[in-house]
Structure 1
Amino acid sequence: MTTPDPTPPAAADGAKRPPGPPAPDTAAGTGGAGAKHVPAVGRATPTHPHATDGLDAHLIVTRPAFHLDITLTAAPGEVVALLGPNGAGKTTALRALAGLTPLTAGHLRLDGEELDRTPPESRPVGVVFQDYLLFPHLTALDNVAFGPRCHGVPKAEARAQAAAWLDRMGLADHGGAKPRRLSGGQAQRVALARALATRPRLLLLDEPLAALDARTRLDVRSQLRRHLAEFEAVAVLVTHDPLDAMVLADRLIVIEHGSIVQQGAPADIARRPRTDYIAHLVGLNLYRGRAGTEAGGRLVRLDTGTAVATTEHLTGDVFVAFPPSAVTLFRERPAGASARNVWRCEVAGLEIHGDRIRADLTGELSLAADLTTVAAAELDLHPGTPVWATVKATQTHAYPA
């Protein structure tokens, strides 16, 4: 995206109707235009005051080498995260919601209003771009006031509203600073204030934390969670970071190759991934196979013929998963081991993974195993080392495919 021209109208600041001034703060953590107080420790429960309220979209975008076809619905007060690998269609979906990419087919309704053919500047949509796109020649105050000014709010009133939003973001002392003098976290909050100043009915966040360093990201993620908890309209977050998605969103929608492959509450998706991409994100070894009469239905036979013992009694097509930390490695086949799963493998690679060593294994079963640096040294592991991998059946989790 190129930096937008600072002349009205601006798609990034989106609301069609002129906003009134923000409600005064009565305590830290209150705010949002007309938003009720929500403690920072949790999110508001999405409400459904009217059947037509919220987002109802079927986004179809067809290009020569790509096809997006997804359905998105969200209630007011709900934060939905679009998660997926590069090229999955996340950004295309966000641009379609903003009106920056036209739909090939489908529909887009917000609070019952058809927006398919509504130009970006007339949509009640606020956008926080990945690189924020703050106007470099304007102060933080004037960046935030820009949206209301675009919609006819007098300059003094717009600046007063902007000052209130900056105060809510903890930036009351930075109103006179231009973007180059702001830290990454401060710039992110200014961009969020600019998007919220127009009281949008749909807030779009495109990788809002991607430009921040690790330490700043931790602090800003917590602040963003609080602001989203106070936002009573629909928020859609696009990210490739599973932690951002898990912390900020009420519901995850995972997109691969332009289609939805899984959606649900973050905890449900983390516990029951349905694709290799999701399993990798949440740190699980995942396999698909079939459970039958073997071992009372507690044995999953993979397509390769390898079997994985579980404790669940299932039949038919199933997934079976276990964390890398459940894997124990031996240089010789363990005698008398209590683990029911024992596979001959070979070390394909080693890498630092947090405070542990992650071994990438191939052989009877391809899997990842986590072990301490001491254990890795004692086993004298290196690429090509033959090992035996064991996993207790009680540490696996099987579920219907």
Structure 2
Amino acid sequence: MTGTRKAVRDAVDAQRPAGAGLDARLVVERGAFRLDLRLAAAPGDVVALLGPNGAGKSTALRALAGLLTLTDGHLRLDGVELDRTPAHARPVGVVFQDYLLFPHLSAVDNVAFGPRCHGVPKAEARAQAAAWLERMGLAGYGSAKPRRLSGGQAQRVALARALATHPRLLLLDEPLAALDARTRLEVRAQLRRHLADFEAVAVLVTHDPLDAMVLADHLVVIEDGGIVQEGAPADIARHPRTDYIAHLVGLNLYRGQAGGRTVRVEGGAGIAVTDKLTGPVFVAFPPSAVTLHRDRPDGSAVNLWPCEVAGLETHGDRIRADLTGELPLAADLAAVAAAELDLRPGATVWAAVAAEKTHAYHA
């Protein structure tokens, strides 16, 4: 969140009654799986639930929407208990992954559907829907049926339909997953603008770290039905606390014991760092900080480990090398450098990382 945007929201928050926003503890048991998740957000906040498949993200979303009954816990929105309120009576808007637009209705009638269900007369509901479509940049598409819309256009119609009822909680279930890469970039930017203007709470479910980092003010990372880390996107990106998060943000991550400026990780490898710490710590560094050598390099490199190439992947104009050995790690290097080193699975190399490229922090 930018400083200006945060200052405006802080000023508005100061005028809101106590209890405004979302206050929930979602406990849902389904067979052997148990979700236990606490969520709190003020009006205007965008919270992203991020996690691998099966972590419990969709279960949480369905519980918030009223499509799943809580086993335990509570759900309060603007101070009102919603635990036993049926889905259709909740002030909640949902944008589904596949949008679920009514195929037999035009775009304007899809958007007008919500206001009509709330008792708004047909002509007024259609006028409101037309205004929402104009706001979404779709003024000329009111009469179009969903099959005539592109993926990005359908996503914006679905968002307009969810917002047309003026929900106090907006739920977005993988809203960009059905889009191709080029459309996704454009629609993500548009969605960010719309969410910046949304005055209630928005909860975004995604497994895409870029969507979460760009769209959300607060990240909640879920694994196996529980929270493993939460905070501002920048803080989580800089201080990952699980392998899953480190992989998402593109960092090598290790846990170990610090003694001064050396961290001893599981397996016995030592990592020299610039941060002077003691006790349990994490150490992280990007794959781009790793340099590879076929022969042991001369010089005074402190962090130097013999490794074996386990695999190679192409990432744009870079090559990602997965390395095993005393300290398993990932290294990124230019394609020409990989060719010069004759990298291939099974090749032995030396991996070096400058101490100043590492970042150590308390576990």
Question: Is this a same-fold pair by TM over 0.5?
Answer: yes
Q: 1:319 — aligned with what?
A: 282
Q: Which of 266, 269, 293 in structure 2 is aligned with 1:303?
A: 266
CA distance in structure 2 between the partners assigned to 1:377 and 1:234 by the alignment: 50
Q: Per the alignment, in what secondary structure is the counterpart of residue 215 of structure 1? A: helix
1:175 Cα deviation (Å)? 0.2
Q: Does 1:77 find its partner at 2:44?
A: yes
Gaps of 5+ in 2: none
Q: Does 1:387 find its partner at 2:344?
A: no
Q: Give the partner amino acid of 2:130.
A: A
CA distance in structure 2 between the partners assigned to 1:50 and 1:366 by the alignment: 52
Residue-by-residue CA offset, 1:270-305 (whole Å, 9 max, x unaligned): 00000000000000000000012xxxx100001211
Q: Give the partner amino acid of 1:196.
A: L
Q: 1:114 — aligned with what?
A: 81
Q: 2:160 — aligned with what?
A: 193
CA distance in structure 2 between the partners assigned to 1:42 and 1:242 by the alignment: 22
Q: 1:7 — aligned with what?
A: none
Q: 2:121 — aligned with what?
A: 154
Q: 1:340 — aligned with what?
A: 302
Q: Identical aligned pairs, as a percentage?
A: 78
CA distance in structure 1 between the partners assigned to 2:269 and 2:179 by the alignment: 44
1:64 Cα deviation (Å)? 1.4
Q: Which of 73, 96, 100 in structure 1 is aligned with 2:63?
A: 96
Q: Per the alignment, in what secondary structure is the counterpart of residue 166 of structure 2? A: coil
CA distance in structure 1 between the partners assigned to 2:182 and 2:214 by the alignment: 16
Q: 1:360 — aligned with what?
A: 322
CA distance in structure 2 between the partners assigned to 1:45 and 1:245 by the alignment: 20
Q: Give the partner amino acid of 2:276.
A: H
Residue-by-residue CA offset, 1:201-255 (whole Å, 9 max, x unaligned): 0000000000000000000000000000000000000000000000000000000
Q: Per the alignment, in what secondary structure is the counterpart of residue 246 of structure 1? A: helix
Q: Give the partner amino acid of 1:307.
A: G
1:41-80 superposed matches below 5 A: 45=9, 47-48=12-13, 49-80=16-47
Q: 1:4 — aligned with what?
A: none
Residue-by-residue CA offset, 1:165-190 (whole Å, 9 max, x unaligned): 00000001000000000000000000
1:339 Cα deviation (Å)? 2.6
Q: Give the partner amino acid of 1:98.
A: A
1:42 Cα deviation (Å)? 5.8
CA distance in structure 1 between the partners assigned to 2:117 and 2:35 by the alignment: 32
CA distance in structure 1 between the partners assigned to 2:117 and 2:135 by the alignment: 22
1:100 Cα deviation (Å)? 0.3
Q: Per the alignment, in what secondary structure is the counterpart of residue 315 of structure 1? A: strand
Whichever structure has more strand as a proportion of its residues is 2
1:65 Cα deviation (Å)? 1.9
TM-score, with length taken from structure 2: 0.97
Q: Which of 238, 253, 257 in structure 2 is aligned with 1:290?
A: 257
Q: Does 1:399 find its partner at 2:353?
A: no
1:353 Cα deviation (Å)? 1.3
CA distance in structure 2 between the partners assigned to 1:231 and 1:355 by the alignment: 39
CA distance in structure 2 between the partners assigned to 1:105 and 1:116 by the alignment: 10
CA distance in structure 2 between the partners assigned to 1:150 and 1:69 by the alignment: 33
Q: Per the alignment, in what secondary structure is the counterpart of residue 9 of structure 2? A: coil
Q: Give the partner amino acid of 1:393.
A: A
CA distance in structure 1 between the partners assigned to 2:46 and 2:182 by the alignment: 24
Q: 1:131 — aligned with what?
A: 98
CA distance in structure 2 between the partners assigned to 1:322 and 1:260 by the alignment: 24
What is the RMSD of the two structures over their aligned residues, measured on CA atoms? 1.3
Q: Per the alignment, in what secondary structure is the counterpart of residue 277 of structure 2? A: coil
Q: Per the alignment, in what secondary structure is the counterpart of residue 311 of structure 1? A: strand
1:186-265 superposed matches below 5 A: 186-265=153-232
Residue-by-residue CA offset, 1:47-84 (whole Å, 9 max, x unaligned): 43122100000000012120000100000000000000
Q: 1:143 — aligned with what?
A: 110
Residue-by-residue CA offset, 1:329-369 (whole Å, 9 max, x unaligned): 00011111x43100000000000012200000000110000
CA distance in structure 1 between the partners assigned to 2:303 and 2:271 by the alignment: 6
Q: Per the alignment, in what secondary structure is the counterpart of residue 208 of structure 1? A: coil
Q: Per the alignment, in what secondary structure is the counterpart of residue 321 of structure 2? A: strand
Q: Give the partner amino acid of 1:45.
A: R
Q: Give the partner amino acid of 2:344.
A: H
Q: Per the alignment, in what secondary structure is the counterpart of residue 214 of structure 2? A: helix
CA distance in structure 1 between the partners assigned to 2:283 and 2:316 by the alignment: 25
CA distance in structure 1 between the partners assigned to 2:98 and 2:180 by the alignment: 13
TM-score, with length taken from structure 1: 0.88
Q: 1:6 — aligned with what?
A: none
Q: 1:30 — aligned with what?
A: none
